[in-house]
Structure 1
């Protein structure tokens, strides 16, 4: 099975707001961004995060797709749609020191996000009826999948750059995973 993971295109965020679960619009010229994407048209399965910034892409390409809540970005709880600089230091500094275990009030930590993402991933890779899959999602989700496939320490996940509107392609063959392409 060949799995294409694509991050949604750039968002409109001039104030550098914290967002994950919150709906934030794609940049105004998103249709131009979509035209520049390298998207195949022969996917057996297409699944999108339920976030609008992802399923707009699936709609644009007229894919027959389903959405899955488990593919959403991290839930930053009370920090959602606040400027990063407006989040009180006594709240954000512990998260900067330990983003794996610490979470914003009303949000989730990285372990909780990893559990939901891997629930989806493990179901997907067990499927025997698909040769080529497209997943439309977010940088955090893609990093967690790569962390699982490549088995590097979770605290290193932000060392991987996942560009807007770019794909990561993973091959799965008899339970063996290989990263075929990054940011294409």
Structure 2
């Protein structure tokens, strides 16, 4: 199976707002951004995060896709749509010190997110009825899938750059999984 993971195109966030589950609009010229995407061949299956910024990419290419809640970005709870600089230090400092285990107020921890993404990944890679899959999702989800393959510590997750509107290609066989390309 070949799995193409694509991160949605760039968002419009001039105020540097914290967002994950919240709807953040794509840049005004997202259609031009989509034209720059090299999606390649047809896909047997297309799955998208239900976030509008991902669905707009799927709609642009007229994909027949399904959505899966497990493909959402991290839930930043009460921090959603606040400026990072306006999140109270007493809340954000513990998270900065341990973003893996510390749960965002009314949101989730990175471990929580990893559980749901891992569940999705295991379910997908067990499928025998598809050979080429496209997933439209977020940078955090893609990083967690790469972590599933490479098995590095969660603390190192953000050492991987996942560009907007680019894809990661993963090849899955019965006895081997490897990353074929990144930020393509």
Q: Scaled by the length of structure 2, what TM-score is found? A: 0.99
Q: Deviations over 1:25-69 (max 9, x none)?
A: 000000000000001241000000000000111111011110000
Q: Which residue of 2 aligns with 1:101?
A: 101
2: CA distance between counterparts of 1:40 and 1:59?
Answer: 16
Cα distance, 1:128 vs. partner? Answer: 0.4
2: CA distance between counterparts of 1:59 and 1:110?
Answer: 29
Secondary structure of the residue aligned to 2:135 is: strand
2: CA distance between counterparts of 1:50 and 1:166?
Answer: 19
Q: Which residue of 2 aligns with 1:59?
A: 59
Pairing 1:127–2:132 present? no
Runs of 4+ in 1 over 3 A off after TM superposition: none
**Matched ranges for 1:3-42 at <5 A:** 3-42=3-42
Q: Which residue of 1 aligns with 2:87?
A: 87
1: CA distance between counterparts of 2:104 and 2:150?
Answer: 28
1: CA distance between counterparts of 2:104 and 2:28?
Answer: 30
2: CA distance between counterparts of 1:67 and 1:148?
Answer: 21
Relative to structure 2, which stretch is displaced further, 44-53 or 100-109?
100-109
Secondary structure of the residue aligned to 2:162 is: coil
Q: Which residue of 1 aligns with 2:170?
A: 170
Q: 5+ unaligned residues in a row in structure 1: which ranges?
A: none
2: CA distance between counterparts of 1:104 and 1:123?
Answer: 27
2: CA distance between counterparts of 1:20 and 1:57?
Answer: 17
Secondary structure of the residue aligned to 2:55 is: helix
Q: Which residue of 2 aligns with 1:68?
A: 68
In the comparison of the two structures, how many residue pairs are matched? 184
Query: Aligned Cα RMSD in Å?
Result: 0.7
